[in-house]
Amino acid sequence: MNKNTSLPLKIAVLAVLALFVFFSIYTGKYLLSFIHDPELFRNWIESYGFYAPLAYIGITVLQILVPLIPGEPMEMIAGYAFGSLKGTILCIIAESLGSIIVLFIVKKYGRKIVEIFFEKEKIDSLSFFKSSRNKILLYALAFIVPGTPKDLLCYLAGLTDIDSHILIPIITLGRLPSIITSTLAGDHLGDQKYLSAAIYIGIAIALSAIGILVYRHIERKNKTED
């Protein structure tokens, strides 16, 4: 952490990290079971009964607050455990909640909170998102296209002077294409429709590959202009 970070902020961040570690240890084996024994994972989710959606939302929000793993696996897990429709709704709720929390935390505490989770060089390399005259369009494109580092961009969004009323729809609804393809793939896996699941996974991978290429092009173009 930065030496200038205030003590209350350090305590708050450490508390969130401790909570995340606890949830990671407790849920880790079940999340991993999704890979080698999906039915075990589904049974674990169902064991929460009425609280299963809340458990999923809590885990997903923590994943966004402490961005150590990509969001796509969590979206696929939602589709598998809850079905494509309910899974999509839960993903939208969880990822929107996590994104909005991140946005307002960064708006309040500034760059020092971003540097807790991301390297200074990485933040500097994306400074064009803050300085570009077309920054609203850049953020919209970066969030709509699958495959881009949305958790990082969500943190960086709080460093811009873009109004929160504009940013919130971008960082929430912009995730929909990724959410839909991932939850559909998970849902079809759950129904053992492996061919359909493979098609949706293929679509997700293709869109992510295109997204990465578009993102890198934007990154190179804007660095050249700087």
Report yes or no on 2 lying in a domain: no
Helices (H), 66-175: 72-82, 84-109, 111-117, 120-125, 128-131, 135-144, 150-157, 164-173
pLDDT, one tens digit per residue, over 110-123 is 888 888 888 888 88
Q: What are the C-alpha distances in Å from 186 to residues 30, 56, 75?
A: 16, 15, 8
pLDDT at 30 over 60: no
What is the domain count for the chain? 1
Report yes or no on 21 lying in a domain: yes
Report yes or no on 69 lying in a domain: yes
Shortest CA distance to 65 belongs to which of 157, 154, 171? Answer: 154
Report which residue type is found at 121: E
| Percent with pLDDT over 90 in the chain | 8
What is the span of the domain harbouring residue 197? 7-225
pTM of the model: 0.76
- Torsion sign across C-alpha atoms 144, 161, 108, 126: positive
Report yes or no on 163 lying in a domain: yes
Residue reference for tokens 């961040």: 13
Report yes or no on 1 lying in a domain: no
Report yes or no on 131 lying in a domain: yes
